[in-house]
Structure formats: C-alpha cells, structure tokens
Amino acid sequence: MSGPADQIAAIDRAERALELARFTADDGWALGSRLREVAGERQAPVVIEIYRAGGLTVFATALEGATSDNASWAARKIATALHFERSSAAVALHLRARGLKLDDYGLSRDRYAAAAGAVPLRVAGAGCVGAVAVSGLSGMEDHELAIDAIGWLHRRQA
C-alpha cells in the first residue's frame, strides 16, 4: 500500500491532468448536471455544489437523502480547495501526514474542512477558477465522483 506522500502525488497528478480549456457558467451547469445524473443513477444521497472563484455559485443541488449537514460540508470543502488551490483530499492527507490542523493555517473549522470531496477547477493559462464539491458519501467516494465528472467535462472540451 502506498504512503501519504504517494497518495498526495497521485491526487495532484490526476488534478493537473484535468486542466480545462475554459470554465463558463454553461460549463458549470453541464458539469453539475452530469454529476447529478451519475449520482442519481447510484442513488447517492449527496449535495453537489460548483463555485466559480469569487464565491459565485453556478450549480447547487441536493439528491434524495442528502441533508443540510452535507451542504455545510460541501461549502467548507470548497473553501478549502479554493484556499489551497488543490483538492480537499490532498489537503486532508497533507495535514494528517504532518500532524497539522487547519487551525495551524489560521483557518476556522466552521468555514473550512479538511475532508475529501472538493476539487479545484483549473483552466489553461488562468489557473484555479473555481471548485466542485460532492458531499454525502465517504470522502474519497465524494472525491472520485467529482474527479470523474471533471474528466467528463475535460473530454467534452477536447
């Protein structure tokens, strides 16, 4: 089994490979709709949120069984992904491996979450322009749903 450093490197590589050509409000809607379709097929009780940088929500939905707690976690995971410009999964692994907490970075746990499920959206030549979060399953299942959907959008733009 690989250690935390290998896991973090793999997550970072996967994110970098999914750099988008653009990210418009329509792209956000398409991405969110795709995520909702896949989550619905799996009967996953999740909240899906997609933000553009600056805090603009371009997509938000809750599937049957999701709770307001899931919405809170999604927003906190997105705040983490946007702050660090890397997935909340990589941030959580990084902190755990070094024995650190969000507090060590001056970040409040009521606004940020070190838990997998939010992935930054990167555009070629622009960097991090937003993030997508899934909340309601295990952290890594949330992360994988988000990564798979970004991969779908990436392939669609190619």
- CATH number of the domain bearing residue 69: 3.30.450.150
Range of the domain at 77: 4-157
pLDDT means over runs of 10, the chain (158 residues)? 84 93 97 98 98 92 98 97 96 95 95 97 96 96 97 96
Sign of CA dihedral 66, 153, 23, 147: positive
Are the C-beta atoms of residues 77 and 117 closer than 8 Å to each other?
Answer: yes
Please give the pLDDT value at position 135. Answer: 98
Q: Domain count of the chain?
A: 1
